[in-house]
Amino acid sequence: MGKSVKKIQLSVYLDPETFRTLDVFAERRGQPKSLVAEAAITSFLSPDDSDRREAAIAKRLDRTARLLERLERNGNITLETLALFIRFWLTSVPALPEQSSPAARAKGAERYDRFVEALGRRLSSGSTVLKEVSFDSNPAIPE
């Protein structure tokens, strides 16, 4: 058993309504009023729950901010990749003659279907361009 600490007596004046609330609470708990009052004072003087809650919220907000930065970076890489591909494609693929249009459309639809299948396989394997791109330009943003 721990050694007993001598307590110091304190006389306080309470509003009658506060005293009634203390009395009812202590009686309901089966505890002496002095013990309930001591616990209330200790709670009041210790870092309150709102400070702990605020710290937890700040931590979550920091994590969310890092996630949003990563999402923004990934979106920018995706946009730049698409823009670069479109520019390359528009400058390197000649226009088709009008008479080959139906055959070209059929071939285009076939190639598109193969592209979508390949994309599905790549995404399901977990392999992504983002994993292949070097992120040395902003090492502060974690993966």
pLDDT digits (tens, 9 = 90+) for 40-97: 888 778 777 778 888 889 999 999 999 999 999 889 888 888 998 988 988 888 887 7
d(CA 31, CA 23): 10
| pTM (2 d.p.) | 0.45
Domain that holds residue 62: 48-93
The reply to whether 7 falls in a domain is no
d(CA 17, CA 38): 18
Residues 81 and 102 in one domain: no
Residues 21 and 40 in one domain: yes
